[in-house]
Amino acid sequence: MADDIAVGSPAESEAVRASESVTIYDVAKLAGVNPSTVSRALNRPGRVNAVTERRIRAAAETLNYHVNPMARALPTGRTSIVGLVVSDITNPVFFDVIRGAEAAATRSGYTLVLTESEESDEREYERAQRMLRMVDGMLLATPRMSDEQITALARQKPVAVVNRLVDDVLSVIPDVQHGIAEAVRHLRGLGHSRIAYVPGPPLSWMARRRGELLAQRCEWAHIELATLDSVAPTVAGGRSAAVAVRDSGATAVIAYNDLIAIGLMQELVETGIRIPADISVVGFDDIFGADFTSPPLTTIKSPLREGGDYAMAALLGRVTDTEVSADGFDLATTLVVRGSTGPAAR
Amino acid sequence: MADDIAVGSPAESEAVRASESVTIYDVAKLAGVNPSTVSRALNRPGRVNAVTERRIRAAAETLNYHVNPMARALPTGRTSIVGLVVSDITNPVFFDVIRGAEAAATRSGYTLVLTESEESDEREYERAQRMLRMVDGMLLATPRMSDEQITALARQKPVAVVNRLVDDVLSVIPDVQHGIAEAVRHLRGLGHSRIAYVPGPPLSWMARRRGELLAQRCEWAHIELATLDSVAPTVAGGRSAAVAVRDSGATAVIAYNDLIAIGLMQELVETGIRIPADISVVGFDDIFGADFTSPPLTTIKSPLREGGDYAMAALLGRVTDTEVSADGFDLATTLVVRGSTGPAAR
DNA sequence: CTGAAAGCGCTAACAA
DNA sequence: TTGTTAGCGCTTTCAG
């Protein structure tokens, strides 16, 4: 182990080490102006004589000056930091949300701070509350906490929510309907008339929504829907649903998410069931790796990355009082047809 | 689209809205003490009369007081924020590093700020430099920038690096050797005497290291190693290497990373080659989804999560001048044998 | 054990 | 256009 870790104390070059605590006072002195002039020159170009400004910028450059965000935050009350709260970093659906949110934040010159709650709603609220003090706004991704808690946070600072609908709070949710309609149509087109559904955690807003919309759509399409017992939204959860799926007599199954679908496929295949010859499988989300399976998973893709991006952009719009248009953002879920679906068995 | 987004302005409850700007002055007034006493009571319990302390805590509670991290950072110079720089959020190997780093940071009461450089070394340095001002320390995950740039950052604030060795900078790297030895032994045990290697980006420190160590080990084991052309460390890159692999005459192939291995398998299988009957495939990293393939991928697991965790813990040890022991951290790479390897073909 | 006062680095009136 | 001044919320001497 010791060999794996190389440790060294950098030689302390005073010149550079000092660069860390260069203040506008230093810059001001070098440029021969007042500190407040430095502040102006650097922050609102134009409000200062062009040549002095140049002189100041030069001085800042040679001194390797960088503002101290904390010091700036104090008088202004703005930190240029936005928060992102995810309930479980372990969950691959958040990867894309994080990506999107990070992209939008960076695009607007904001720094992203990240926290996770390890699936505990209490911890989630507490950490969000702590984080709130240092951010200009906060994005909640598929939060676990109660509507009341979210509303309480939203009263203090701008808050947005992705993947859940909360009254009076900026909520960005995908158009689940669209992908479900496509999936049902797809399966019906393949001759499936009885399909099973493996639901996710009943307490999750999104899980309920997917279940309800699917039930609705199947009824509308005159397709028999067998809703099985809820399972954990994991590969293991999916495996545990395999017998129920097989016994359901359905020729196709839709899972609450890809993880469940993948576990299901694994277990089914190991039991000698062929996919899609015997049973077609459809997932939800299109997480990273959904196409690694064989057959690759047909799934209802959720616009996770776009949702994260758009939600963050909208949040920052609130923060900076800027209008953010939804143009260029498509939050529709869409069916991605791969190999795990095929003609109905009988 | 408009339907997807629910927008509402929360009712402004002054009572709670105010809670955001509760200061120690408010608490002091309510508790009938001096602000400095509040500060003491809250920060160093014991240095204040037990009953006054209780009174102060009670006041803070009723007022819903939370410290302002910015205001605290100014006099102390410490922000309780640590930075994490990743070169590409898109790359699944970083997921685990982020997880580990986040866990370690949270464990120590630090908040994590995240930034990515989109694979650009210039942007990476610039963003790191910007971030440096607001953090107490910074972790660089598989950085793209030069040793000089890293050293320059390390002169200003505590810096640690994961997955790369930089002189005089706290570097945490996995024990690549171990897993490679296991893999070579595993393949030799299966009768493979000629194996191919698909290298990653030649400029990457880790890519070079893996290549060198593998070559060394194969020579040591009297196994013929055919090093093919470098490819992009992606699924597409892997697919593009398929013909070269087939033509190499090797009965087994090791890829620089799992993404390449997965792409390779996909392309190989589509060409009618059976895995592992015709060719055995070994990946590197054990990323999320490596076991979704069929056959599931045999791979040299890199302790990504542990590495992120340990590196962050070690960094924070530096920051707080605390000794951090490496106990409980195992940074060895290990072979995870799954289905993609089997007895040599001929 | 607690109060008074100075100051962290920056911004934002207000003057000049 | 630029300088002066006060203060953001907190910590930390220094007195008492």
Distance B33 CA to C7 C1' (A): 21
Across residues B69-75, what is the average pLDDT? Answer: 94
A46: CB within 7 A of chain C nucleic strand = no
Token digits of residue A137:
């706004």
Q: How many CB atoms lie within 10 A of CB A203?
A: 10
CA dihedral (B209, B215, B220, B224) in degrees, to 10, reads 160
Task: Tell me if A16 sits within 8 A of B155, measured CB to CB.
Answer: yes
Report whether pLDDT(A117) > 50. yes
List, in sequence order, every residue forming a beta bridge with A141; answer none if it has no partner. A86, A162
Task: Tell me if B265 sits within 8 A of B251, measured CB to CB.
Answer: no
Q: Which residues contact A75 (CB under 8 A, 6 or more apart)?
A: none
**How far apart, in whole angstroms, are the C-alpha atoms of residue B128 and residue B156?**
11
Helix and strand totals (H; E) in chain A: 14, 12
**pLDDT (tens digit, 9 = 90+) per residue, B157-178?**
999 999 999 999 999 999 999 9
- What's the mean per-residue pLDDT of chain A? 91
Chain A residues 56-85 with a CB less than 8 Å from chain B: 66-71, 73-74, 79, 81
The more confident residue out of B297 and A5 is B297
**How far apart, in whole angstroms, are the C-alpha atoms of residue A203 and residue A226?**
20
**How far apart, in whole angstroms, are the C-alpha atoms of residue B127 and residue B154?**
14
DSSP state for residue A233 in the 8-state scheme = S
Task: Tell me if B345 sits within 8 A of B278, measured CB to CB.
Answer: yes
Which of A111-120, B67-76, B206-215, B323-332 is predicted least confidently?
B323-332
Q: Give A124's pLDDT tier (boundaries 50, 70, 90).
A: very high
- Three-class SS of residue A183? helix
**How far apart, in whole angstroms, are the C-alpha atoms of residue A300 and residue A332?**
10
Across residues B106-131, what is the average pLDDT? Answer: 89
**How far apart, in whole angstroms, are the C-alpha atoms of residue B270 and residue A98?**
34
**pLDDT (tens digit, 9 = 90+) per residue, A136-147?**
999 999 999 999
Given this model, what pLDDT does residue B326 score?
Answer: 77
Of A80, A74, A68, the residue nearest A22 (C-alpha): A68
DSSP state for residue A80 in the 8-state scheme = S
Pick from B19, B157, B166: which is nearest to A156 by CB?
B19
- Across the beta sheet with A170-172, the strand order is A5-6, B170-172, B159-162, B137-141, B81-86, B111-116, A111-116, A81-86, A137-141, A159-162, A170-172, B5-6
Residue type, B262: I
Given this model, what pLDDT does residue B20 score?
Answer: 64
**pLDDT (tens digit, 9 = 90+) per residue, B165-221?**
999 999 999 999 999 999 999 999 999 999 999 999 999 999 999 999 999 999 999
The more confident residue out of A15 and A242 is A242
Q: Which residues contact B287 (CB under 8 A, 6 or more apart)?
A: B92, B93, B95, B96, B257, B258, B259
Of B344, B179, B340, B342, the residue nearest B261 (C-alpha): B340
Task: Tell me if B200 sits within 8 A of B210, measured CB to CB.
Answer: yes
**pLDDT (tens digit, 9 = 90+) per residue, A161-196?**
999 999 999 999 999 999 999 999 999 999 999 999
**How far apart, in whole angstroms, are the C-alpha atoms of residue B340 and residue B261?**
10
Of B121, B124, B119, B123, the residue nearest B138 (C-alpha): B124
DSSP state for residue B175 in the 8-state scheme = B
**How far apart, in whole angstroms, are the C-alpha atoms of residue A328 and residue A310?**
9
**How far apart, in whole angstroms, are the C-alpha atoms of residue A265 and residue A269?**
6
Q: Which residue gives the smallest C-alpha to C1' distance to C9?
A: A71
Chain B residues 315-344 with a CB less than 8 Å from chain A: 326, 329-331
- Taken in order A45, A48, A54, A57, the sign of the CA dihedral is negative
**How far apart, in whole angstroms, are the C-alpha atoms of residue B330 and residue B305?**
11
Task: Tell me if B317 sits within 8 A of B139, measured CB to CB.
Answer: no
Specify the nucleotide whose C1' lies closest to residue A21 (CA). Answer: C9
Q: Give A19's pLDDT tier (boundaries 50, 70, 90).
A: low
**How far apart, in whole angstroms, are the C-alpha atoms of residue B189 and residue B346?**
14
Given this model, what pLDDT does residue A9 score?
Answer: 36
For each of the domains in chain A, give its residue range(s) and CATH number, in order of start: 10-67 (1.10.260.40), 77-173+305-320 (3.40.50.2300), 176-302 (3.40.50.2300)
Chain A residues 126-145 with a CB less than 8 Å from chain B: 129-134
**How far apart, in whole angstroms, are the C-alpha atoms of residue A78 and residue B315?**
28
Q: Give B45's pLDDT tier (boundaries 50, 70, 90).
A: confident
Distance A37 CA to D14 C1' (A): 34
Specify the nucleotide whose C1' lies closest to residue B40 (CA). Answer: D11
**pLDDT (tens digit, 9 = 90+) per residue, A266-322?**
999 999 999 999 999 999 999 999 999 999 999 999 999 999 999 999 999 999 988
Residues 8-67 of A with CB under 7 A from strand D: 32-37, 40, 47-49, 52-53
B36: CB within 7 A of chain D nucleic strand = yes
In this structure, chain A runs to a length of: 346
Across residues B81-106, what is the average pLDDT? Answer: 91
- Across the beta sheet with A298-301, the strand order is A224-227, A194-198, A252-255, A280-285, A298-301, A334-336
pTM of the predicted structure, to 2 decimals: 0.89
The beta-carbon contacts of A64-68 under 8 Å, at least 24 apart in sequence, are: A64/A16, A64/A19, A64/A22, A65/A19, A65/A22, A65/A23, A65/A24, A65/A26, A65/A27, A66/A22, A66/B129, A66/B130, A66/B132, A66/B133, A67/A24, A67/A42, A67/B133, A68/A23, A68/B133
**How far apart, in whole angstroms, are the C-alpha atoms of residue B334 and residue B282?**
12
Q: What are phi and psi of B162, to 5 degrees?
A: -110, 140
Q: Give A84's pLDDT tier (boundaries 50, 70, 90).
A: very high
The more confident residue out of A20 and B135 is B135
**How far apart, in whole angstroms, are the C-alpha atoms of residue A206 and residue A140?**
14
Report whether pLDDT(B47) > 60. yes
Across residues A77-91, what is the average pLDDT? Answer: 91
Nucleotides of C under 7 A from a protein CB: 1-5, 7-13
Report whether pLDDT(A17) > 50. no
**What does the buried/exposed string (b/e) look like for A78-108 if buried means 16 or more CB atoms within 10 Å of the residue's CB?**
ebbbbbbbbbbbbbbbbbbbbbbbbbbbbeb
**pLDDT (tens digit, 9 = 90+) per residue, B301-334?**
999 999 999 999 999 999 998 888 877 788 999 9
* Residue B168 to residue A8, Cβ atoms within 8 A: yes
- Three-class SS of residue A310? helix
- What's the mean per-residue pLDDT of chain B? 91
**pLDDT (tens digit, 9 = 90+) per residue, A58-67?**
999 999 899 9
Given this model, what pLDDT does residue B11 score?
Answer: 39
In this structure, chain B runs to a length of: 346
B34: CB within 7 A of chain C nucleic strand = yes
List, in sequence order, every residue forming a beta bridge with A299; answer none if it has no partner. A283, A336
Across residues B25-47, what is the average pLDDT? Answer: 94
Q: State percent of chain B over pLDDT 90.
A: 81
* Residue A116 to residue B106, Cβ atoms within 8 A: yes
Report whether pLDDT(B29) > 70. yes
